[in-house]
């Protein structure tokens, strides 16, 4: 039986990512609306967009399938936490789980057409890179941490 410590840190990281992600998305939806853009520095701006596909806007219309795959990945990652891992791996797993869960929450609850019909809220826009969100950053950083 794995120790509680094998689960605690990645789950706390994942929960923190979900909270920060959902708060940021709530701010974006309520503050940016459909026509407001906030220019920050250089090409960085906040610009509200909704993505019902996957990364980089690919797979439009496949939201339910993407949601099912995300659920399977989250469950797999949670099950894999049963073994003790390196600190970098623990952080990476927490970031991956939290990021995947943050975007899955959008797919579950940000649509009017049924389960997994919602679109992911994106709002961080460099204008030369696809628009993304906090959950996307967590998934990317988690993948890098696991690769290292």
If we measure between CA atoms, which residue out of 130, 114, 113, 112 comes closest to residue 122? 130
Is residue 136 part of the annotated active site? The answer reads yes
Tokens for 42? 């250089």
Instruction: Report DSSP letters for 100-148, one per residue.
Output: HHHHHHHHHHS-SSSTT---EEEEEE-SSS--B-HHHHHHHHHHHHHH-
Choosing from 21, 106, 125, 136, the catalytic residue is 136
Non-local (6+) Cβ contacts of 126 within 8 A are 43, 44
Helix (H, G, I), strand (E, B) or coil at 50: strand
Choosing from 21, 106, 122, 125, the catalytic residue is 122
Among all residues, which ones are annotated catalytic?
A: 122, 136
């Amino acid at each position: 039986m794995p120790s509680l410590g094998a689960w605690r840190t990645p789950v706390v990281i994942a929960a923190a990512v979900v909270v920060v992600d959902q708060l940021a998305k709530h701010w974006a939806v309520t503050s940016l609306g459909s026509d407001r853009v906030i220019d920050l520095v250089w090409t960085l701006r906040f610009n509200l967009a909704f993505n019902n596909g996957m990364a980089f806007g690919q797979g439009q219309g496949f939201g339910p399938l993407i949601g099912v795959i995300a659920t399977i990945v989250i469950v797999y990652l949670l099950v894999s936490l049963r073994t003790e891992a390196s600190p970098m791996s623990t952080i990476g797993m927490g970031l991956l789980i939290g990021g995947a869960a943050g975007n899955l929450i959008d797919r579950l609850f940000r649509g009017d057409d049924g389960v997994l019909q919602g679109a992911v809220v994106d709002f961080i826009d460099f204008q030369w890179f696809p628009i993304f969100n906090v959950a996307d950053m967590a998934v990317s950083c988690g993948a890098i941490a696991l690769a290292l």
